[in-house]
Amino acid sequence: MSTEAAADIRTYHRRTKHAPQRYALGPAFLDWDSQPDPFRRFEGARRVALPLCPDAPTPPFAALGEAMPPAALGPQALGLFLELALGLSAWKQAGEARWALRNNPSSGNLHPTEGWVVLPPLPGLGEAAALYHYAPHDHALEERCRFQRPPTLPAGGFLVALSSIPWREAWKYGERAFRYCQHDVGHALAALSYAGACLGWRVRALAAPGDDAVAALLGLDRPDAHHPFEAEHPDLVAMVTPAAAAEIALDRPPGEWSGTANRLGEDHERWPVIDAALKLAAKPETAPLPPPPAAAPPAPGSGEPAATIIRRRRSAQRMDNRTAMALPAFLRLLAATRPDAARPPFAALPWPTRLALALFVHRVEGLEPGLYALIRDGDSLPRLRQAMSPRFRWQLAVPESGLPLYLLEPGDLRATASGLSCQQAIAGHSAFSLGMVADFARTLAEEGDWAYRRLFWEAGAIGQALYLEATAAGLSGTGIGCYFDDSVHQLLGIDGDALDWQSLYHFTVGGAIEDTRLDTLPPYAHRPTSPPA
């Protein structure tokens, strides 16, 4: 697929489907010596260490989104916000090998996503309004641009932005990596939403700005922003505010730029298909969108501090093939994946809900094993029902819960779930697994090809909700990007070639088996708890 040959982003999507006899094109082997550096640094930029606040109180996890006094914007609150959203959660070590884990999940722990903030003048951080890059390794801000005048900011708040370096993901996953980069944007936006809720702040992505405006704001169009083969691409800008606020227009005042991006690796393999996808799915300027409606309050959940759960979250590598999930916890988890303008993470997403869940229930107490569907928005039920096999029952599974959870077909689907997820046992050895199925053709027809990206963002946000709800329930989750696309569609009775509905992400929740060969080390032992005076 070349840029000239590709009619639209659908060409990329078809080409990067996995099938049992043909996987999407990836590297012939992994050259560990060329693995990209997971940490971006801007050499020569003024660096400001942020406070580490491991003992700072946060609300109970189940209370996130409820009214609370917002924290005042300053170094302490900003440090906690960025740490809980994008900071390190631990280091793992096996022999001489050592690698970092973060609070925001990432496909393959490769972390293509970079974080940025646009701040007003703040005592202890900077005398002028500025654009900063967040450096998670050292929990510090790097001043990229000091503005000559304050930019437009929401009242009492600031801007946070995300960008992606596809090479970090493509190094391992090849052509399919563009999908995984978008998953990680959704993971990160959701992580920002949860972190903001810990402080009484609201996070909401701006729907209007196009890629060019975001790139200009972040300086990604500058020659000092990245190495030519390590291009960094704009994703989104979000407002962080103490109360609900109307969407603002982006502007980038003139300013003084500093710093040069570090080189992430010496050797690079080119993936022209990803370059083409970036052009095909470029976002133009669009209209602002109203917030989604507030949903019913979720069932009572974990009273643990939210920060404890966020920092404890891990991606399970293996499931124990025996742990069951209690029905109330399962129902709360599913309720947490439905859109809600008042609660994280979906209060951060301004776009219409377009994904439903197809669930493979293996071990949920009081629920018959089998294939289920959860409808996440009001108008997709008749559309999805028409698109799927006529043999399905569509029987409300737990009517008293009020959840639109439907039993489609009973049965033992453990082997099926594993088989569909590229023969990964983790999908069948869990309490349940699922596929996220998008109203694909409709969304692209209504919003344009750029919406391909935001569908994956929605999937990533669902994934982060599942991760944290699983952790709160004493279980573990894992996102699964490797699955046989059209085999999933065939099981559901969907015409995969028509692209009306498409599976975009899989996930599994259960009892994890801990790898006792690995040592776990604290996240920031390499720097002091408090920044230097």
Q: How far apart are CA 334 and CA 348, in angstroms?
A: 18
Query: What pLDDT shows up at residue 294?
Result: 66
Q: Look over the chain and give the mean of its residue pLDDT values, rounded to a whole number.
A: 95
Q: How far apart are CA 6 and CA 3, in angstroms?
A: 5
Does the bond joining 345 to the residue before it have cis omega, within 30 degrees of 0? yes
Q: Residue 337 region, left (φ>0) first, then alpha (ψ -120 to 50), else beta?
A: alpha
In this prediction, residue 3 has a pLDDT band, given cuts at 50, 70 and 90, of very low
Domains and CATH numbers, the chain: 39-264 (3.40.109.10), 314-510 (3.40.109.10)
Q: How far apart are CA 63 and CA 476, in angstroms?
A: 21
Q: Over the stretch 175-219, which tens digit does the pLDDT of each residue have? A: 999 999 999 999 999 999 999 999 999 999 999 999 999 999 999
Residue 207 token pair:
């729907």
What average pLDDT does the segment 358-378 reach?
Answer: 97
Q: Over the stretch 100-129, which tens digit does the pLDDT of each residue have? A: 999 999 999 999 999 999 999 999 999 999
Stated pTM of the model: 0.97
C-alpha distances (whole Å) from 331 to each of 61, 214, 338, 469 are 16, 38, 11, 10
Q: How far apart are CA 454 and CA 491, in angstroms?
A: 25
Residue 257, beta-bridge partner list:
145
What average pLDDT does the segment 246-262 reach?
Answer: 95
- DSSP H/E element including 135: strand 130-135
Q: Give yes or no for residue 289 having a pLDDT over 90.
A: no
What average pLDDT does the segment 408-419 reach?
Answer: 98
Q: Determine the angle formed by the axes of helices 75-86 and 177-198, rounding to 10 degrees.
A: 140
Q: How far apart are CA 104 and CA 250, in angstroms?
A: 26
For residue 263, the tally of other CB atoms under 10 A from its CB is 13
Rg of the chain over Cα atoms, rounded to whole angstroms, equals 22
Sign of the dihedral through C-alpha 178, 179, 184, 185: positive
CB 327 within 8 A of CB 83: no
Q: Over the stretch 463-479, which tens digit does the pLDDT of each residue have? A: 999 999 999 999 999 99
Which amino acid makes up residue 8?
D
Which string of b and e fits 21-60 if b means at least 16 CB within 10 Å? eebbebeeeeeeeeebebebbbeebebbbbbbbeebebbb
